[in-house]
């Protein structure tokens, strides 16, 4: 069984989530058993995964697993279904706030919040006789109380309890302070066998969860394969499994803080721990050949190294009718990216300002949600350039969209001005739609997906004037534009499902080659904090 480990699966997805979904579809097409593993609690998880085409049976979240909520018969919970044990209550509806207030004898008993656009219960807030909030109950979107948050008299969450759909408490999180006043949390789990475990951290609970998955899907004939897509979630636990498994670190971004210097001393903070412990993994995967070479040269780890693109272009797209440049909206530039510091989209707007002075028909549409870091600093930087260059009618922030085909079959150019990348699914999608791509020469991905002079142009990193000049040259030469667009369609074949699957097969073969000999091989390291003779189901108390 393959397990693809991630934090969540929101409605508005980042590149990692899109990559996982494409991979899941590829594995399904080849009948290779796989599951999407989610670490965080999210009452909307199954709504989002279903909308993305993933069946409930292929989703395992840590919380669902212990709440016995992997498969739940849905029900709609309305206000009439609630009973707060306080006798007849006066109901006051507040539709603008999507909630109802329930009171008795002038005293607020509860607030009932609804899922947006419905009258189905999202959560309840319950108050004591003195008007103090003491309990919030959060509903899973499938229609059961999933999480109870118990409040202290000073209005802080003191304890959180996760329940089964039948209301049985199975997982608890306690908040406390140490002697220095630092806030700490500990976890208590009652598993399906009734055994009780205590954990000092979420990391320790996560490791226990991965151990349980490894045992539940154990197969003597072939290894379980854990693919860690967000290293910071389980880098500690995945390398300390109590049973053997084949463990994979997947690099979705540059491994150094300075992407242009693969030997820079400062590592990308998301990968720092995992890369310094790379010998504990069985394999490391990068999305581009250049990064694979750089990682191997720098770390010289015993982990097998593979190059597997995170992106896949579906056959339906590869065989779709091609849209000639002459039938596209002349001068329409698009970019699909989070509005975040590393995407450097304010530089793209600067380039468009230069282009617009020479080619007035040019417009730029930015698709993607804004990163909230530093009070939306990246979006504010983009807006500042728009205002300074008077581009309000030229540059539009469109927000998140899933209508990629419609947008990219109409546009003409695609822009990438990132400071760092690990692949860039968006530029791969762009060339598959025949868009002419313009990018900075930045590691990793854009400077390999975009082939200078074939399907677009690669200019020096940070040189937005050169980017603008390259765009102007194409816009002023229809024959050149069509040649690049034709090259874009053709170059997308590198990411066809069959080509990517061939690369995955190499990893699968390596995993199988070390099984079952790996049961006793030195490649499997006994966890340092577990004595070798400890029974598997012995409670793990206060693990780091």
Report the 3 state secondary structure along 293-348.
HHHHHHHCCCCEEEECCCCCCCHHHHCCCCCCHHHCCCCEEEEECCECHHHCHHHH
When pLDDT is cut at 50, 70 and 90, the band that residue 402 belongs to is confident
Model pLDDT for residues 173-189, shown as the tens digit of each residue: 998 777 776 777 899 99
Model pLDDT for residues 411-461, shown as the tens digit of each residue: 999 999 999 888 999 999 999 999 999 999 999 999 999 999 999 999 999
When pLDDT is cut at 50, 70 and 90, the band that residue 86 belongs to is confident
Model pLDDT for residues 240-254, shown as the tens digit of each residue: 999 999 999 999 999
pLDDT for 185: 86
Q: Residue 524: pLDDT above 60?
A: no
Spatial separation of the C-alpha atoms in residues 427 and 94, rounded to whole Å? 45
pTM: 0.86
Domains of the chain (ranges, CATH numbers): 2-68+203-310+507-519 (3.40.50.2000), 79-191 (2.20.110), 315-493 (3.40.50.2000)
Spatial separation of the C-alpha atoms in residues 2 and 217, rounded to whole Å? 10
pLDDT for 180: 74
Q: Residue 465: pLDDT above 70?
A: yes
pLDDT for 518: 56
3-state class (DSSP) for residue 500: helix
Q: Are 298 and 285 in contact (CB under 8 A)?
A: no
Collect all residues with Cβ–Cβ distance below 8 Å to 321 and sequence separation of at least 6: none
Q: Residue 164: pLDDT above 90?
A: yes
**Beta-carbon-side half-sphere exposure of residue 494 (alpha carbons within 13 Å):** 20
Q: Residue 219: pLDDT above 70?
A: yes
pLDDT for 517: 58
Average pLDDT over residues 24-43: 97
When pLDDT is cut at 50, 70 and 90, the band that residue 15 belongs to is confident
When pLDDT is cut at 50, 70 and 90, the band that residue 520 belongs to is very low
Q: Residue 135: pLDDT above 90?
A: yes
Q: What percent of the chain has pLDDT over 90?
A: 84
**Region of residue 7 (phi > 0: left; psi between -120 and 50: alpha; otherwise: beta):** alpha
Q: Please give the radius of gyration of the chain, using alpha carbons only, rounded to the nearest integer.
A: 26
Model pLDDT for residues 488-512, shown as the tens digit of each residue: 999 999 999 999 999 999 999 999 9
pLDDT for 538: 37
Q: Residue 401: pLDDT above 90?
A: no
Among 504, 5, 515, 4, which residue's Cα sits nearest to residue 219? Answer: 515
Provide the pairing of β-strand 133-140 with 121-127. antiparallel
pLDDT for 183: 72
N- to C-terminal Cα separation, the chain: 28
Collect all residues with Cβ–Cβ distance below 8 Å to 402 and sequence separation of at least 6: none
pLDDT for 515: 86
Q: Residue 528: pLDDT above 70?
A: no
Model pLDDT for residues 438-452, shown as the tens digit of each residue: 999 999 999 999 999
Rounded-to-10 torsion of CA 44, 46, 47, 51? 140
Backbone dihedral angles phi then psi of residue 141, each to the nearest 5 degrees: -65, -15
**Beta-carbon-side half-sphere exposure of residue 261 (alpha carbons within 13 Å):** 7
- Candidate from 41-55, 316-330, 371-385, 514-528 with smallest mean pLDDT: 514-528
Q: Residue 193: pLDDT above 80?
A: yes
Q: Are 84 and 103 in contact (CB under 8 A)?
A: no
Average pLDDT over residues 305-331: 96
Average pLDDT, the chain: 92
Among 281, 290, 297, 218, which residue's Cα sits nearest to residue 259? Answer: 290
Residue 36, both tokens: 């999407």
pLDDT for 491: 97
Spatial separation of the C-alpha atoms in residues 395 and 333, rounded to whole Å? 9
């Amino acid at each position: 069984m393959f397990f693809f480990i991630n934090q969540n699966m929101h409605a508005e997805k980042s590149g990692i989530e899109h990559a996982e979904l494409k991979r899941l579809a590829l594995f399904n097409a080849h009948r290779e058993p796989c599951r999407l593993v989610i670490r965080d609690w999210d009452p909307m998880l199954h709504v989002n995964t279903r909308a993305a085409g993933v069946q409930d049976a292929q989703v395992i979240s840590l919380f669902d697993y212990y709440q016995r909520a992997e498969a739940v018969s849905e029900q709609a919970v309305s206000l009439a279904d609630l009973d707060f044990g306080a006798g007849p209550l006066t109901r006051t509806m507040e539709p603008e706030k999507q909630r109802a207030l329930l009171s008795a004898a002038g005293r607020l008993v509860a607030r009932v919040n609804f899922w947006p656009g419905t009258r189905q219960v999202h959560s309840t807030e319950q108050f004591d006789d003195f008007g103090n909030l003491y309990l919030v109950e959060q509903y899973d979107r499938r229609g059961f109380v999933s999480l109870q948050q118990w409040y202290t008299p000073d209005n802080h969450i003191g304890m959180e309890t996760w329940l089964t759909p039948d209301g049985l408490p199975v997982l608890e999180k306690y908040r406390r302070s140490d002697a220095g006043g630092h806030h700490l949390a500990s976890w208590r789990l009652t598993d399906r066998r009734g055994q009780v475990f205590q954990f000092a951290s979420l990391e320790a609970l996560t490791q226990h969860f991965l151990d349980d998955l490894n045992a539940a899907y154990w197969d003597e004939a072939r290894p379980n394969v854990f693919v860690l897509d967000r290293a910071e979630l389980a880098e500690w636990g995945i390398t300390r499994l109590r049973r053997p498994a084949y463990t994979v670190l997947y690099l979705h971004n540059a491994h150094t803080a300075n992407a242009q210097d693969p030997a820079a001393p400062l590592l990308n903070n998301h990968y720092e721990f995992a890369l310094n412990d790379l010998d504990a993994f069985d394999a490391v995967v990068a999305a581009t050949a250049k990064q694979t070479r750089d990682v191997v040269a720098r770390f010289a780890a015993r982990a097998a190294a593979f190059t597997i693109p995170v992106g896949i272009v579906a056959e339906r797209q590869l065989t779709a009718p091609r849209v000639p440049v002459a039938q596209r909206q002349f001068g329409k530039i698009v970019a699909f990216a989070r509005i975040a510091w590393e995407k450097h989209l304010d530089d793209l707007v600067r380039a468009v300002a230069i282009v617009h002075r020479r080619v007035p028909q040019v417009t730029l549409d930015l698709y993607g949600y804004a990163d909230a870091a530093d009070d939306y600093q990246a979006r504010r930087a983009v807006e500042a350039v728009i205002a300074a260059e008077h581009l309000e009618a030229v540059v539009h922030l469109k927000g998140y969209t899933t209508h990629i085909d419609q947008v990219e079959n109409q546009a003409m150019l695609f822009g990438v001005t990132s400071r760092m990348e690990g692949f860039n699914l968006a530029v791969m999608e762009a060339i598959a739609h025949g868009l002419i791509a313009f990018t900075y020469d930045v590691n990793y991905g854009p400077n390999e997906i975009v082939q200078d002079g074939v399907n677009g142009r690669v200019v020096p990193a940070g040189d937005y004037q050169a980017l603008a000049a390259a765009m102007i040259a194409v816009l002023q030469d229809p024959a050149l534009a069509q040649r690049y667009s034709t090259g874009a369609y053709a170059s997308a074949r590198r990411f066809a499902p069959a080509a990517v699957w061939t690369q995955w097969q190499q990893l699968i073969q390596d995993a199988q080659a070390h099984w079952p000999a790996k049961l006793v091989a030195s490649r499997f390291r006994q966890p340092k904090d577990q004595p070798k003779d400890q029974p598997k189901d012995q409670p793990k108390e206060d693990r780091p």
